[in-house]
Amino acid sequence: MTLNKPHVLLTGGAGYIGSHTYVALVEAGYQPVILDDFSNSHPVVLDRLQHLTGQRVVCERGDVLHTGLVTEVLQRHGCVAAIHFAGLKAVGESVEQPLRYYRTNVGGLVSLLQAMETADCRSVVFSSSATVYGDPAHIPVTEQSPCMPESPYAHTKLVCENILASLKGADPSWRVGVLRYFNPVGAHPSGLIGEDPSGAPNNLMPYVTQVAVGKRAKLRVFGNDYATPDGTGVRDYLHVSDLAEGHVAAVRALLAREQSFTVNLGTGEGTSVLGVLDAFERASGQPIPFEFAPRRAGDVAKYFADVSMAEDLLGWRATRSIDDMCRDSWRWQQNNPDGYRTAGNAPTSPVHSLRAGVASPALTGGVV
Ligand code: NAD
Ligand code: UFG
């Protein structure tokens, strides 16, 4: 019975991290409510979520910039908290289209917060990123490390963090959880949901899986002359299911305590690009052809998180290994070579909503 469960709004809940968080929230006894405009996701994910959770998926189609719609969704479902995933995330694209990034990422957050105020729902978890630290001088990166964003995307995340701090300063009844993700990869172990980039992937893991499945000829390893053990870039890769559980811990902490927090979510361990390739070859049995290429503009040599604050404040720590991440990414890619658009993946159930009322005709949003 979903009526008694605490309802949590997930803006961007049909996307990569949002969909995994949906599953984790259901497993933890919450009722997530997705609000997504499907600008970077596919409705087939809703069928998959229904299959994984064994219950109808609550999803409203709409733009988070539409404050009236967001208010209506929060009120109708009686949401007690929101997790704000909706946004744009490609660093390179943000350099070319800064206004679009500020409008969606910053405008989207302001719109959500205004809606939450109207709906008297003042607990929010925000998807921030380790990219706010820029090129950190000290590793592991703690939450006290200086924030020195280097791209418009990174700036939007820091502006959003500042907006949340201002709001909390003006009205202490707000509870704000800022989560700075390191490098989320992997997929649900079922192989039913995963990362579904459109076009050529920018990020390492989806590129590797597309090489493994034969969609791309070879990986280009950007830089082999960094000051790292094998010369390639080192990152803190984090299984998306661990990240999803981090969101559950954050919501639980916000609802249980008055405290707000800003925490890193990572494993605390760094893996080089060649280390990822080794792990992937072990997990998949597939050789990954690669060549070394020049460094990619804007990349830093090495960073990984200090994760002690997440453990202290949220009681959360990552449990899945790089081998788990590779195995689950590979399963997802094998089962869905073209992501959710893979032939035979047409949505089977047109309506996925437990909505209690009928939306005002003035609203542009609808139920998927
Ligand atoms: P994603 O693109 O898969 O998911 C975002 C979802 O938001 C998509 O389903 C998209 O359709 C939706 N969306 C976009 N604009 C919208 C709007 N105006 N209204 C309603 N819905 C909208 O991305 P993701 O990887 O799941 O990332 C989620 C969040 O986490 C983003 O804010 C991103 O910046 C942040 N983040 C991601 C990473 C990463 O490596 N994936 C790292 C750090 C932070
Ligand atoms: N890499 C390659 N070849 C590729 C892609 C990546 O060698 O085809 C290398 C990069 O040079 C880097 C490492 O793999 O050394 C990881 O690169 P990703 O693009 O996967 O990840 P980034 O660390 O560059 O950035 C990601 C997200 C950002 C986010 C940041 C921190 O793309 O949005 O993690 O969370 F801000």
Find the residues whose C-beta lies inside 6 A of ligand 1. 11-12, 14-18, 36-41, 63-65, 85-87, 89, 104, 108, 127, 129, 181, 184
- pLDDT for residue 342: 86
- State in Å: Cα 237 to ligand 2 middle: 10
Across 331-363, b (16+ Cβ under 10 Å) vs e yields: bbbeebeebbeeeebeeeeeebbbeeeebeeee
What are the pLDDT digits (tens) for 203-222? Answer: 999 999 999 999 999 999 99
Rounded Cα distance, 153 and 118, in Å: 28
To the nearest whole percent, how much of the chain has pLDDT over 90? 88
What are the pLDDT digits (tens) for 269-287? Answer: 999 999 999 999 999 999 9
Q: What is the DSSP letter of 343?
A: T
So where are the chain's domains? 7-355
**Which residues does the chain have with pLDDT short of 50?**
1, 349-368
- Give all strands (DSSP E) within 12-98, no chain letters: 31-36, 59-61, 79-84
65 in Cβ contact with 88 (< 8 Å): no
- pLDDT for residue 359: 32
The residue nearest atom 16 of ligand 1, judged by CA position, is 86
- Which pTM value belongs to this model? 0.95
Return the ligand 1 atom nearest residue 64 CA: 19
- pLDDT for residue 346: 64
- pLDDT for residue 365: 34
Which residue in 101, 153, 226, 237 is the catalytic one?
153
- Sign for the CA dihedral angle at 115, 163, 267, 322 comes to positive
- Sign for the CA dihedral angle at 60, 63, 69, 71 comes to positive
- CB count within 10 Å of CB 163 equals 16
Rounded Cα distance, 158 and 152, in Å: 10
- pLDDT for residue 356: 29
363 in Cβ contact with 242 (< 8 Å): no
Rounded Cα distance, 322 and 282, in Å: 11
Across 123-141, b (16+ Cβ under 10 Å) vs e yields: bbbbbbbbbbbbebeebbb
- CA 191 vs CA 10, 134, 194, 322: distances in Å: 22, 33, 7, 17
Return the ligand 2 atom nearest residue 234 CA: 15
Residue with tokens 């981090």: 246
The residue nearest atom 35 of ligand 1, judged by CA position, is 127
Which of 284, 246, 280 shows the shortest CA–CA distance to 126? 246
- Is residue 153 flagged as an active site residue? yes
Return the ligand 2 atom nearest residue 180 CA: 35
Q: Determine the Cα angle at 2 with ends 78 and 241, to 5°.
A: 95
Domain 7-355 has CATH 3.40.50.720: yes
Residue with tokens 């305590």: 257
288 in Cβ contact with 329 (< 8 Å): no
